[in-house]
Amino acid sequence: MSELPTPRAPFVFATAQYESGDWDSAPLVPANIIDSVARYTSLPVRSQGVTVPLGSEAALQYPLLYLTGHLPVRFTQRESEVLTKYLDRGGMLFVDDHNHDVDGAFNKTAREEIRRVAGPLLPLPNTHELYRSFFVFENGPPTTSHEMNGWGDNLVHEQLDAVVKDGRIRVLFSNKDYSSEWSFHPDNKRFLSVDNTRFGVNIVVYALTR
């Protein structure tokens, strides 16, 4: 684990609301990641997350945006404009395929939209600093219990994909379905031998400190 600089303002977990698809498919994820950031780090964190319309410039105030869903994703012109500005200003977008299916509608359309707005997604090496930004994940992104459950593509995705510019991740894309893996009440962590939300802490820490 790393010693962290203390930001001036508390971190706020922001979920991106987009006009197409089911942007609110994992409503328990924000509270769970907020709990983990507070539990494991010294970072100040707001106790409740926010929902931010992707077409609103209010999105520009958050260093990390979380976007997920099952259905096709098509950004409006306004959403594309705001997202471009957001990424150019140093924001980071974390996209997680709630279907964990490379042949699924969410994966195909979200990748197309990201390519159009931010550039192509490329495999992120499992040696990337993201996997050491707080907790150490020697083998890259941790596997989820949902990848091999027969729903989705039934594959373990060994890498995440990313759009990287000037040495910094602008968009992080996952087919591992962390949205299902982390969608439980934080009180239930006591039943886990290893807290599976720890990688979410790494994403937050990376977004705040890189």
Nearest to 83 by CA among 105, 59, 101, 66: 59
pLDDT, residue 1, reads: 52
Question: How far, in Å, CA of 207 to CA of 130, rounded?
Answer: 9
Sorting pLDDT into bands at 50, 70 and 90, what band is 149?
A: confident
Cβ-contact 160, 92 below 8 angstroms: no
Question: How far, in Å, CA of 91 to CA of 163, rounded?
Answer: 12
Percent of the chain with pLDDT over 90: 88
DSSP code of 6? P
- Second CATH level (architecture) for the domain 14-209: 3-Layer(aba) Sandwich (3.40)
pLDDT, residue 151, reads: 85
Domain residue ranges in the chain:
14-209
Is pLDDT at 27 greater than 70 in this prediction? yes
Give the mean model confidence (pLDDT) for residues 187-196: 90
pLDDT, residue 150, reads: 77
pTM greater than the 0.75 cutoff: yes
